[in-house]
Amino acid sequence: MSIEVQFSDQPPAGAVVLFDQSKGRYPLSSENKKIFSQSLASQRALRKAELYDLEKSEVFAFTDRRPGQLFIVHLGAGPLDFRSLGAKLGKKLLRLERETCALALPSKENHPLYKGFEGFLEGLLLGLYRYQEFKSPSEKPKKELRQLTLVGAKTKALQSALQRARILAESTCLARDLGNRPGNHFTPSDFKKACEQVAQETGMGFEALDEKAMKQEKMGCLLGVSQGSDEPAWLNILSYRCGDKKAPTLLWVGKGLTFDSGGISLKPAVKMEEMKFDMLGGGAVLGAMRAVALLKPEVNIIGIIPASENLPGPRANKPGDVLTACNGTTVEVINTDAEGRLILADALAYGVKRFQPEAVIDLATLTGACVVALGHYHTGLLSNDQALTRKLQAAADQSGDWVWELPTHEIYEKQIKGEVADLKNIGGPDGGTITAGLFLKHFIEKTPWAHLDIAGTGWNAERIDYYPPKGATGTGVRLLAELAMAWK
């Protein structure tokens, strides 16, 4: 996302965006009427403004025979979602292939835009996203937004909002890019390289345990999943240190299955190509670690991403096998397609023991049951700590990555109690999201913990304006970053 942003007193040639909340025959303030009539749209277009639904916030586009485009962001009477409005504008700019865009900022300091300006810019940048890595030059759009001009006074508040919005949007789009890459172009080793690159960019600490080191740590669950593939597994560890030795430490763990065939318990062929998305939890953790390294919250954060493939090779683990996690818990493999919880088990147990965090949060595209329960618009949340739950809910409301709490009653534990081992890796067809989460609870000791199932929100959540219509959404990046910035 390489967009130049500048401040100016006058709008340059090209697309111009006005913000308005006035009512009446022509829903434009006198200030905007002057800009409107002098720039790119005709009086005939102005008369079309009468068609506005004044109760609803919306982005309207007007065209003229002269080069350029005029957009009006109308702020309706209801609650204002500036992130969604920015994303709507971004998608219109994307579709119309505008190379430049000028935001004519309101002159009144009490204009509601300024309270939501960071969210609007964030949404605009998120709305401009499209994945083009494997398109040939002839198939790529000829034009895309290169320059954004903020027409108005250059203030510290606006500069701060712009910087924060860019960091959050770019970090989200990093997670989207990684999630959209095909499995043959994004292996566990490629995931390790991506972590190394982010660490070098931001100055974070980074290390990676190879399979030899994982064997020494007795990570039988993670290695059991990966042994069906020729690609080696990696346990990637990123560390952000705020400089305060007394600051608390948070642990984020993200599932990094770069491709999941289901293993011996093979998935159906239909839509199996979507299983390249099974690393979105790890991608979210990597994007969030990049964001916090640049935003610099006053908390220490460790990000762990177990990366592997799940394939039905000759050495693959089989239904009925028993694996032993690094904390000594034994697991009977009932279904090799319930592999995400296995690699997370070792990563969680290792991270909690080594780093002694104040709280631990894991993210994973863990269960299809979560899609059935919540669709593509809320992430499933399970937790053993209500204070942590409230913090996550507040961060979700702020970031727009919505969550919904699910029960963790001990009655569900009966479904995952093992017959020949301590646990089973699947609890049957009922309450699958809950039993999968409770499985992970066995690997965090007594640490405050939350599990975020992003199976539905991780991709193809097209009805949310600031998510792409198809592909990876980057959900979880801004949620975790907001949590870190607000942590006390």
Active site residues: 267, 341
Closest to 15 in 3D by CA, of 164, 193, 183, 151: 151
The rounded Cα 226 to chain-centroid distance in angstroms is 25
Cα gap 174→163, rounded to integer Å: 16
Cα distances (angstroms) measured from residue 80 to each of 76, 113, 116, 395, 398: 7, 9, 8, 18, 13
Cα gap 358→312, rounded to integer Å: 38
DSSP letters for 200-240: HHHT-EEEEE-HHHHHHTT-HHHHHHHTTSSSPPEEEEEEE
Burial class (CB in 10 A: 0-12, 13-18, 19+), 256: buried
Beta bridge partners of 205: 239
DSSP letters for 276-289: GGGGHHHHHHHHHH
Cα gap 67→482, rounded to integer Å: 40
CB atoms within 10 A of CB 251: 25
Residue length of the chain:
488
The rounded Cα 437 to chain-centroid distance in angstroms is 20
The token pair at 391 is 């913090």
DSSP annotation of 419: S
| Contacts for 203 with CB less than 8 Å, ≥ 6 apart | 293
Asked whether the beta carbons of 149 and 102 are under 8 A apart, the reply is yes
Asked whether the beta carbons of 410 and 326 are under 8 A apart, the reply is no
Handedness of CA 167, 169, 175, 178 (dihedral sign): negative
Cα gap 208→192, rounded to integer Å: 7
